[in-house]
Structure 1
Amino acid sequence: MSAPRETDVFPFPGSSYRGPDPRYAELRDEEPVVRVRTAGGVDAWLVTRYEHVRELSADPRLSRARACGPGAPRVGGTMHTTPEMIISLDSPEHSRLRKLVAGAFTLRRVERMRAGVQQVADELLDAMQAQGGPVDLVQALAVPLPLTVIGELLGVPPADLRDFEKWARAFATVDDRAGGEESLAGLAKLSEYIVGLVADKRATPTDDMLSELIAARDEGDRLSEAELVTFGFTLIGAGFDTTANQLANSVLALLVDHRDQWDRLAADPALIPKGVDELLRHVNLFATDTTGFPRIAAADIEVGGVTIAEGDAVLLALASANRDPAVFADPDRLDLDRERNPHISFGHGVHHCLGKHLGRMELEIALEGLLRRFPDLRLAVPEHELPWHTGEINHTLTSLPVTWGEPE
């Protein structure tokens, strides 16, 4: 087993929403599967090339369940999860639960939601326009759009959504801060709320996904109470936070570093779908450059010329994979004309993001509305004054003040 290099302490400090730390490029060239010491003090294998990340994402010998079970190594810079969460399960348990909700997130089903998502976005943009600048884009659009949509899908009363946002953000705190206490506190609040909501919907079912899950049977067995509760907060948390952060970070990237591309999208809205996909590849969402969810090898695995031994922790660097020049020409450039864009920002394999079609649609609708109504949108404060929420799994802006029209 190779020893970690002292310089390879993970997470690397040079990463931001703009992209991964420059040393990933060195590792892709020199040591694409490398042993690193993590912030939690545990050694892990860091995988940086696209071909290896994609291959291992679909390898059943890499176990999420073993990474979440009792006695699992605590890899610093990663999010606390519980063993019963769908993102913590291996097949067949994972497949059983996933198929219960997969039908709600197919491309066809999501497209039927487009008019409703457009209405939510239009109402939020109307309010922005009526208020006038400056406006905090995080609170005016980036958070409420996906939060409202996922709340309606699951049947969460609108008045409760902001509490959900607060608890989900606490839950997304990485586990090396105060022993995971903040994350566990958020998890407890989410669980307590869903227990009550499940009880209400069991007594009075409504036309929403949570009610469908309550009634769901798999080979004649009703979902357990724990599975229902876990499903509820997992879908709500995953259904808004990543989209909200991706939207805010994408707008920031366009306004600050790629103004010419913002202007081009405003002039040619037909480019927006391709532009969203390129922003998903180019903008680095994950603060640790990985999904934030380590895996444990359940058997010896040969990859990239090294042997990952059974029991070893493995980190798959999605941000590095998305900048791999073997797959993406001129990978560090935001290219709206990129024809081949097989990015893996939504993951790959059994744990690929269920909500990728919904998230992509929300991003397209939100960007189209902003570009159409506010083509001269700009930051209302200097970039260095923008506040970032530290310690989360994602690069998260606390606020994004923007304005438009003639300068005062």
Structure 2
Amino acid sequence: MNTPVPYPFDNAAGLDLADAYRVAQRTPGLLRVQLPYGEPAWLVTRHHEARAVLADARFSRADAERDAPRTTPVSPLGLVATDPPRHTRLRRPAARAFTARRAESLRPRVREISEDAIRRMIAEGAPADLVEHVALPVPITVICELLGVPAADRDRFRGWSDTVLSTSGATPQDFMAATGALKAYMGDLLDQRRAEPADDLMTALLRARDEDAPDDRASRDELVELCIAILLGGYETTASQLANFTWTLLTERPDAFVELAEHPERARDWVEELLRYVPLAASASLPRYALADVEVGGVTVRAGEPVLVAIGAANRDALRFPRPDTLDPARDTGAHLAFGHGIHHCAGAALGRVELQEGLSALARLLPGLRTAGDATWKSAAFLRGPATLPVRW
């Protein structure tokens, strides 16, 4: 078996896709990689193979009694690390409560939150940090309002999220403490919603769960994990991508903001292309274990072996997306994998799209002269890549 190569490849500074991914895509077979923690894994980088693995029930996401390949000392918890039937119990109430229609109904409120954040930044004066003033507060406000989290607790949530999603800046003890605090808080909030229902997602999740047959219902602990997954996924990913997309357009396609100001309906096309174009994750993660021998890319992955899917590389596969390193909002982006594929496709994808569309549109509309005011600084110890600070002026 090939000697594993050190992984991850990408540099934390910037959003470039490492050349090693392109080499892997041109090389027959799969690449054997070694992450900072855990056993070696096979790395999938080509689009058709990535899509196949993500949809193949012969690959399991459930916690295995193995030393899972990972970038952190402790593996993440929750919905992403489950298989049916547990995954089905967890996802069913989310699918019923977290619908595209619900996300679309939130669009006016998301627009208002985005505009309010931008106006506060304008009032502070230029130069200003777009991450601190817009990219972080908009999604945390949206997701906390959606879940029913009191406004006074949002800074606590941000701190817990930053710790849980840190790859090297937090100790295992910090990770467990933050996870424990999140579980306790979410559990208390669920109990409050059970006693006093409200017009929020947490109440909707409880009602959807109660509609299931008793043997199929998610437990209280499972609903707590689901709410944490919604919080982390709905906050951190959108915050990172709002900053990433703004940085990318300002440095590569500043004309896009002019277009978005004049034609806000184009935000949908720009967001889909940016979702494809920007490699968000610092590395492939969330290993899938083969339940039987499976051939992938001409390699037989033996039962019990882990496979990692590099979404960012797959979305830049020239065989699926011609001229993959060119930003083209007119291209067919229907097969991009930014929100995953198969049973683990992101349940909050519709809301994420609304937030990114409205965030970029509001920036274009309210700040027609938006431009960078210096170099960005970059997160160096996180699962998700992006600017830690993004100085802008207008």
Counterpart contact for 2:37–2:71, Cα < 8 Å: yes
What residue number does 2:237 align with? 242
Aligned to 1:254: 249
Alpha-carbon distance in 2 for matches of 1:61, 1:162: 41
Question: Do structure 1's residue 390 and structure 2's residue 390 form an aligned pair?
Answer: no
Distance across 2 between alignment mates of 1:237 and 1:56: 24
Q: Which residue of 2 aligns with 1:197?
A: 189
- Tell me the distance in 1 between the aligned counterparts of 2:11 and 2:393: 30
Structure 2 residue 360 is the aligned partner of structure 1 residue 347:
no
Q: Secondary structure at the match of 2:31?
A: strand
Q: Which amino acid aligns with 2:68?
A: R
Map 1:7-156; keep pairs closer than 5 Å: 8-14=5-11, 17-40=14-37, 42-65=39-62, 68-69=63-64, 71-77=65-71, 80-81=74-75, 85-156=78-149
Please state if 1:232 is matched with 2:231: no
1:403 paired with 2:387, answer no
CA distance in 2, matches of 1:325, 1:200: 51
**Per-residue deviation at 1:61?**
1.2
1:272 is displaced (CA, Å) by 1.8
- Cα 1:133/1:197, change in 2 over 3 Å: same
> Which residue matches 1:357?
350
User: For 1:42, what is the secondary structure of its paired residue?
Assistant: coil
The reply on whether 1:295 has 2:288 as its aligned counterpart is yes
CA gap of 1:388–1:110, structure 2 versus 1, over 3 A, is same
Distance 1:313 1:180, change over 3 A: farther
Secondary structure at the residue paired with 2:280?
coil
Partner in structure 2 of residue 316 of structure 1: 309
**Distance in 2 of aligned mates of 1:159 and 1:395:** 28
- How far does residue 308 in structure 1 lie from its aligned partner after superposition? 0.5
Partners of 1:328 and 1:341 within 8 A in 2? no
Q: Which runs of 5+ in 1 are unaligned?
A: none
Contact 2:294 2:301 in 1 (8 A): yes
Amino acid at match of 1:73: D
1:270 and 1:204 map into 2 onto residues whose CA distance is 39
Quote how far apart the aligned CAs of 1:9 are. Answer: 1.1
**For 1:315, what is the secondary structure of its paired residue?**
strand
Q: 1:75 to 1:177 in 2, by over 3 A?
A: farther
Quote how far apart the aligned CAs of 1:398 are.
Answer: 2.1
Contact kept? 2:38, 2:67, Cα under 8 Å: no
| Residue identity matched to 1:246 | Q
Q: Which amino acid aligns with 2:53?
A: L
Q: 1:328 — aligned with what?
A: 321
CA 1:124–1:82: 2 relative to 1, 3 Å: closer
The answer to which of 193-202 and 112-121 deviates more is 193-202
Q: Which letter does structure 1 place at the counterpart of 2:190?
A: V
**What is the TM-score normalised by the length of structure 1?**
0.90
Which residue identity lines up with residue 23 of structure 1 in the other structure? A
Amino acid at match of 1:387: T
d(CA) in 1 for partners of 2:73 and 2:90?
21
Deviation at 1:399, TM superposition (A): 2.0
- Code of the residue aligned with 1:165 in structure 2: it is R
Structure 2: 5+ residue stretches without partners:
none
Give how far 1:402 is off. Answer: 1.2
Name 1:4's counterpart in structure 2.
3
- Rounded to whole Å, the distance in 1 between the matches of 2:121 and 2:378 is 22
TM-score, length of structure 2 as denominator length: 0.93
Other structure's SS at 1:140 match: helix
User: CA–CA distance in 2 between the matches of 1:364 and 1:39?
Assistant: 36
The Cα offsets for residues 338-358 of structure 1, whole Å up to 9 and x where unpaired, read as 134421110000001111111
Aligned-residue identity in percent? 38
Alpha-carbon shift at residue 220 of structure 1 (Å): 2.4
* 1:82 Cα offset (Å): 5.2
What is the deviation of 1:268?
A: 3.7
- Give yes or no for contact 1:80–1:171 (8 Å, CA) kept in 2: no
Distance 1:32 1:244 in 2: 35
Which stretch of structure 1 is more off in the superposition, 10-19 or 328-337?
Answer: 10-19
Per chain length, whose mean CA-contact separation is higher, i.e. which structure has more relative contact order (CA < 8 Å, sep 6+)?
2
Q: Is the 8 A contact 1:78 1:293 kept in 2?
A: no
1:172 correspondence with 2:169? no
Q: Is the CA contact 1:17–1:283 (under 8 Å) kept in the aligned structure 2? A: no
Deviation for aligned residue 1:91: 1.1
Distance 1:125 1:379, change over 3 A: same
Q: CA deviation at 1:179?
A: 6.1
One-letter identity of the residue aligned with 2:213: E
Letter in 1 for 2:393: T
For 2:73 and 2:354, the matched residues in 1 are separated by 26
CA positional deviation for 1:260: 3.6
1:285-305 C-alpha deviation (Å, 9 max, x unpaired): 1111x2x21111121111111
* 1:185 aligned partner: 177
**Aligned-residue RMSD, C-alpha:** 2.1
Tell me by how many angstroms 1:198 deviates: 2.2
Q: What does residue 271 of structure 1 align with?
A: 266
